[in-house]
Amino acid sequence: MTHKIYISQPIPENALKILRDGGLEVETNTDNRVLEKSELMQAIQGKDGLLSLLTDTVDAEVLSANPNLKIVSNYAVGYNNIDVQAATERNILVTNTPGVLTETTADLAFALLMASARKLLEADKFTRAGKFHKWEPLGFLGQDIHGATLGIVGAGKIGTATARKGHKGFGMRILYFDPNENDYLNNELQATKVSLEELLQESDFVSLHVPLIEKTHHLIGAQELSLMKPTAYLINTARGPVVDEATLAEALQKGTIAGAGLDVYENEPDVHPDLLNLDNVILAPHIASASIHTRQEMARIAAENIVAFFEGEDIPSPVNPEILSHS
């Protein structure tokens, strides 16, 4: 019997080839929009697998819409959009795409950090507006990146890569907050594991790299922002709800912190209206993994997870591997 896969939005073509070469039948939503929940529930009828995006809410209701669904392969490393427990209860495998986007995401964290510290977007606007009349001794004075202290919140793969770029590229001192010791950070980058409070108080740049789980929801709120230096910057390439966005907008308005570089938002694709009017925040539309190569690699892994599952082979990146022992 041919297994049928539904892809909730167009992704790089290499995924389709892998799926078809694996003997699977593929249907893609070709509309350039996120499906309503009811549409997604309808679309997965008669399918054996769903290749989902981080913009799809795959909750218990969606998972219950098709009792024959066997796998949800998320085209992302983060899987907070999926109710994994509900999937496990229904014996549905969930997979993600770790590893391949680590460096690309850390690159963007760094791009936001550098552009924020050196007021690059404001300077670009100024130049385009024809305001560059003379070299200004006091114009666009930003913060040095080299030698500054970089605080990494969440020292997993992406946090570690961001720290490495900071330390090896710019001689930054690295502090990190994580439940676990990170030997690479400790030994290779002479980093120090500290409390969140200490990290916020001491860092010139705070970069967030935690997954979105109950404990990290609004990890950065009014109290945490008030601990940061008025010259410090907050960088978020993790998930929007890790930061209380309204509170951040207020802190940026009041100058509690110097600025922020954001790739993710609390209610994507909406951005808090107050942020839109501020010059000291850079707003990117969730593009941290958006390099041609990385998006192809994410497509490859998302497809390979599905093919491996139906061929009974080892799954490259299962999120709930416990279901494999009784499927």
Minimum distance of ligand DGY from residue 210's CB (angstroms): 12
Question: Which segment (25-33, 74-82, 111-119, 146-154) binds ligand DGY by CB under 6 A?
Answer: 74-82
Asked if residue 228 lies in contact with residue 256, where contact means CB atoms within 8 angstroms, the answer is yes
- The least CB distance from residue 238 to ligand DGY, in Å, is 8
Alpha-carbon distance 172 to 189, whole Å? 9
- Selected from 220, 288, 301, 302, the binder of ligand DGY by CB under 6 A is 288
Nearest distance from residue 318's CB to ligand DGY, in Å?
A: 16
Interface pick for ligand DGY out of 40, 76, 82, 315 (rule CB under 6 A):
76
Tell me whether residue 224 is one of the annotated catalytic residues: no
What does the alpha-carbon distance between residue 151 and residue 173 come to, in Å, rounded to a whole number? 8
Task: Classify 52 as helix, strand or coil.
Answer: strand
61 catalytic? Reply is: no
Determine the distance from the C-alpha atom of residue 30 to the mean position of all C-alpha atoms in its chain, rounded to a whole number: 24
Lookup: tokens for 144: 């040095």
Asked if 243 is part of the footprint of ligand DGY (rule: CB under 6 A), the reply reads no
105, 124, 151, 268 alpha-carbon torsion, rounded to 10°: -50
CB closer to ligand DGY, 101 vs 242? 101
Contacts of 278-285 with CB under 8 Å at 24 or more apart are: 278/249, 278/252, 278/253, 279/122, 280/116, 280/252, 281/116, 281/252, 282/112, 282/115, 282/116, 282/121, 284/108, 284/112
Q: Which of 54, 71, 112, 299 binds ligand DGY (CB under 6 A)?
A: 54
The two structure tokens encoding residue 199? 């990290």
Say whether 173 sits in a helix, a strand or coil. strand
**CA-based angle 31:36:38, to the nearest 5?**
120
Per the annotation, the verdict on 90 as an active-site residue is no
- Are the C-beta atoms of 145 and 92 separated by less than 8 Å? no
Nearer to ligand DGY, 66 or 317 (CB): 317
Residue 312, by phi and psi: left (phi above 0), alpha (psi -120 to 50) or beta?
left
Q: CB 54 → ligand DGY: shortest distance, Å?
A: 6
Interacting span for ligand DGY (CB under 6 A) from 27-35, 55-63, 71-79, 269-277: 71-79
User: Is the CB of residue 86 less than 8 Å from the CB of residue 63?
Assistant: yes
Q: Distance between CA 303 and CA 16 in Å, rounded?
A: 8
Q: Name the segment binding ligand DGY (CB under 6 A); options: 17-25, 73-81, 178-186, 201-209.
A: 73-81
Closest to ligand DGY by CB, 11 vs 288, is 288
Of the two residues 76 and 271, which places its CB atom closer to ligand DGY in the complex? 76
Q: Which is nearer to ligand DGY, 16 or 284 (CB)?
A: 284
302 binds ligand DGY (CB under 6 A): no
77 or 243: CB nearest ligand DGY: 77
The answer to whether 289 contacts ligand DGY (rule: CB under 6 A) is yes
- Segment near ligand DGY (CB under 6 A), from 72-80, 182-190, 226-234, 266-274? 72-80
Spot the catalytic one: 167, 173, 286, 295. 286
Residue ranges in 77-116 that form contacts with ligand DGY under rule CB under 6 A: 77-78, 101
Catalytic residue from among 239, 272, 295, 300: 239
Residues that bind ligand DGY (CB under 6 A): 54, 76-78, 101, 288-289
Q: Which residues are identified as catalytic?
A: 239, 268, 286
